[in-house]
A = this chain, B = another copy of it.
């Protein structure tokens, strides 16, 4: 039998390959594979469902992530997926695989983090499952949300000339991870030395304690702004732009000097000899929102705090362009996440 390595296809390639000819038969299935969440119509408001799997050693390293933070982040990244559909997160289920290494107190810490996130975002924890694991900690979270059908924003609605917006700033979470990783290697198991993160707390917070931008979703609704396409930035701006462009059948141009970057991130990138723009484009885990809007919404958007214009949607033929500070044009590449 033939053996094709998964690395030949990559994460996105494998998902495409496995799901390419899926058909749906249920009349309640509004949106299946291919967006931040699935959309189901049961006769009232639409119900949205998204699932994530977090594995020790792949998605998190307990050497530097306290379990409480891990629980919080695991919930938030799923809540963020529901927000990214312009919907309201409402319920969450959690299934845990736990090895003997962990005590009841450890799992209490993890749950405390999950519950803190649920309280912050008004989400009910409605399902708990735990089982033994041979090898460390496995966390599977499903988040459920609701929205009126007409309010839902998919990835495929971006139109030529639409504005491209991002919230917050990009690259900080990635640099926070680099800091943690550098200290881990430097300390090398020496528990008596405390790492010195002074002045870099913000970057660590961005990595360990991310927030879902429900505030922005609420704000957009309040101001009567309906994005044409939206998703959250978990894999990096380049990768997410690629999803929106390919699903919407458009191209884009974004401007290097418009990408919002925190000054602390810029300083640390410099110290670590990393290109801050590359960090912002490909770093991931910022959980900010990327969305496109009609030019008609320009004035309303201008008035919003923490929303930044980074470029505009173009014809498909123009591809995905990054315009540098001196006007030079580069083709954006979606690195995505190639862990295989």
Query: What residues make up the interface of A, taking CB atoms closer than 8 Å to B?
Result: 1-9, 11, 14-15, 17-19, 22, 24-26, 28-29, 31-33, 37-38, 40-47, 49-53, 55-59, 90-91, 93-98, 100, 102-105, 107-108, 111, 115, 122-136, 138, 140, 142, 144, 146, 339-340
Contacts and interface: CB of A to CB of B under 8 A. Distances in A.
18 contacts: A6-B98, A6-B100, A14-B130, A15-B128, A22-B115, A26-B91, A29-B90, A31-B126, A32-B91, A40-B126, A44-B44, A47-B47, A49-B144, A51-B127, A53-B97, A58-B134, A95-B140, A131-B339
A127 B94 CA distance: 17
Nearest to A93: B51
A278 to B, nearest CB: 22
Contact of A32 (B41, B43, B58, B125): B125
A97 B3 CA distance: 18
A105 B28 contact: no
Contacts of A128: 15, 18-19, 33
A2 B103 CA distance: 9
A95 B37 CA distance: 13
A26 B32 CA distance: 25
A129 B38 contact: no
Given A38-B91, A90-B29, A3 B103 contact: yes
Interface residue SS majority, chain A: mixed
A132 B90 CA distance: 29
A136 B17 CA distance: 21
B9 A104 contact: yes
B47 A42 contact: yes
A242 to B, nearest CB: 17
B133 A49 contact: no
Contacts of A43: 43-45
Given A3-B103, A38-B93, A132-B339, 15 more contacts: A6-B103, A14-B104, A25-B122, A25-B124, A26-B90, A26-B124, A42-B44, A42-B146, A43-B43, A43-B45, A49-B49, A49-B93, A55-B133, A95-B140, A98-B340
B91 A126 contact: no
A124 B32 contact: yes
